[in-house]
Amino acid sequence: MELCVTEERWQAIITNDASYDDQFFYAVKTTKIFCRPSCKSKPPKWDNVRIFQQANEAIREGFRPCKRCKPTGQRLPDREWVAQITDYIDAHYSEKLTLAHLADMCHGSPYHLQRTFKRIKDMTPVEYMQQKRINKAKQLLVHSGKTIAAISAEVGMPNTPYFITLFKKTTGTTPSEYRQLHKHQ
Name the residues annotated as catalytic.
Answer: 35
Give me the least distance between CB of 155 and Zn ion, in Å please: 37
Give the integer Cα–Cα distance in Å for 38 and 21.
6
Considering the complex, state which of residue 68 and residue 119 has its C-beta at the smaller distance from Zn ion. Answer: 68
Residue 169 binding Zn ion, by CB under 5 A: no
Asked if 106 contacts 88 with a C-beta cutoff of 8 angstroms, the reply is yes
Q: Nearest residue by C-beta to Zn ion?
A: 66
- Give residues with Cβ within 8 angstroms of 75, minimum separation 6: 21, 22, 36
Judge whether 58 and 52 are in contact, CB under 8 Å: yes
Question: In this complex, which beta carbon is closest to Zn ion, that of residue 38 or of residue 152?
Answer: 38
x/- track of binding to Zn ion for residues 73-92 (CB under 5 A): --------------------
Give the binding range for Zn ion (CB under 5 A) out of 16-24, 37-45, 90-98, 135-143.
Answer: 37-45
In angstroms, the CA 140 to CA 123 distance is: 24
CB of 171 to Zn ion, least distance (A): 45
Q: Which stretch binds Zn ion (CB under 5 A): 15-23, 63-71, 105-113, 163-171?
A: 63-71
Q: Is 18 in the site for Zn ion (CB under 5 A)?
A: no
Q: Which of 32, 68, 169, 183 binds Zn ion (CB under 5 A)?
A: 68
The answer for residues whose C-beta is within 8 angstroms of residue 118's C-beta and 6 or more apart is: 124
- Please check whether residue 59 is in contact with residue 25, taking contact to mean a CB–CB distance below 8 angstroms: no
Residues 6+ apart with CB under 8 A from 97: 89, 129, 156
Which positions lie near Zn ion, rule CB under 5 A? 35, 39, 41, 66, 68-69
